Chain A
Amino acid sequence: MPVQLFIFLAVVSIASSLGVVVQKNPIHCLLALILTLITIGALFVALDAVTVGFLQIIVYVGAIMVLFLFVIWLLNLQAEPVPIGHLGLKFFATIAVAAMAAELFVFLSKTRTALGEVNVAAGYGSIDSLAQTLFGQYLMAFETTSILLLVAVIGAVAVARRALPVRASAGSPRPGAPS
């Protein structure tokens, strides 16, 4: 992929992911996250993972993030106050994160190969090849994910379901309770 494109995407994605962490208002965080996801999807496409890239946008941006949005609306979350308490934890956490970033940089930048140097077969990353792999080698796992999703849906409903309202008559009658 062209360097300019990469740099652009990299800058945007890092900036937006920082936005996720630093912004106060959850909605803004969400927006930043969406932007990150889109850029990462674009990176996928640029890395010849076309299908996965678009799927990323469809699934994450089109579905999961909307779920987040709904939850934020449902809980009516406002901007959170200035953080207090556990400051020591935060301090050390920051250090730890920095250390991890450093480590990962050193670790991952070991590979010096350039993108162009590896030529992939035609149709690499296309939906056909993905399907071939998915429904061939990984069929079992794929089918299992369906069960996973089913369970997740049921679990989500079960957990989030509001308990059935108790009638005033059924419950212990309070004095002056409307019946």
Chain B
Amino acid sequence: MIVSYSWVMALSAAIFAIGVAGVLLRRNILVMFMSIELMLNAVNLTFVTLARRMGSMDGQVIVFFVMTVAAAEAAVGLAIIISIFRNRETVNADELNLMKW
């Protein structure tokens, strides 16, 4: 019995779904943010797997870029979270409804 690609893909699917759940269910913006990172990594895993499947490096390069983007996103996102916290004294997504009608 050897590992097939579908296993890894299924794994990444699971992680992705968990990440989505985190974004939808958690209140803490920071944790939602972490869940987003989870999703990103699930996708990365898919990329790497399929790259291996096709024997091409492109997937890995994409992963590389995803990491870069994630880094940038983390920097900006966390900065935003900090300023939000400064102004609203909370990181609870339910309380942050400035955009409410």
Q: Which residues of A contact B (CB under 8 A)?
A: 1-3, 6, 10, 13-14, 17-18, 20-21, 26, 29-30, 33, 36-37, 40, 43-44, 47-49, 51-52, 55-56, 59-60, 63-64, 67-68, 71-72, 74-75, 77, 80, 83, 85-86, 89-90, 93-94, 96-98, 100-101, 104-105, 107-116, 118-121, 124-125, 129-130, 132-134, 137-138, 141-142, 145, 148-149, 151-153, 155-160, 162
Contact = CB atoms under 8 A, between A and B. Distances in A.
15 contacts: A3-B1, A13-B15, A33-B37, A40-B41, A44-B44, A71-B30, A77-B91, A101-B14, A104-B16, A104-B17, A109-B10, A121-B55, A124-B55, A133-B60, A156-B78
A141 B65 contact: yes
Interface size class of B (residues with CB under 8 A): 35 or more
B21 interface: yes
Contact residues of B: prevailing secondary structure: helix
A68 B74 CA distance: 8
Contacts of B91: 75, 77
Contacts of B19: 17, 21
Which DSSP category, helix, strand, loop or mixed, fits chain A's interface?
helix
Contact of B71 (A10, A138, A152): A152
Given A71-B78, A77-B30, A115-B3, A148 B72 contact: yes
A48 to B, nearest CB: 6
A43 B76 CA distance: 28
Contact of A47 (B6, B35, B49): B49
A108 B6 contact: yes
Contacts of B18: 14, 17-18, 20-21
B48 to A, nearest CB: 5
Given A59-B71, A75-B82, A68 B41 contact: no
Q: Name the 8 nearest CB pairs between A and B, nearest first.
A: A152-B72, A108-B9, A104-B13, A101-B17, A93-B24, A160-B79, A156-B79, A159-B79
A130 B51 CA distance: 12
B70 A60 contact: yes
A157 B74 contact: no
A113 to B, nearest CB: 5
A3 B24 CA distance: 33
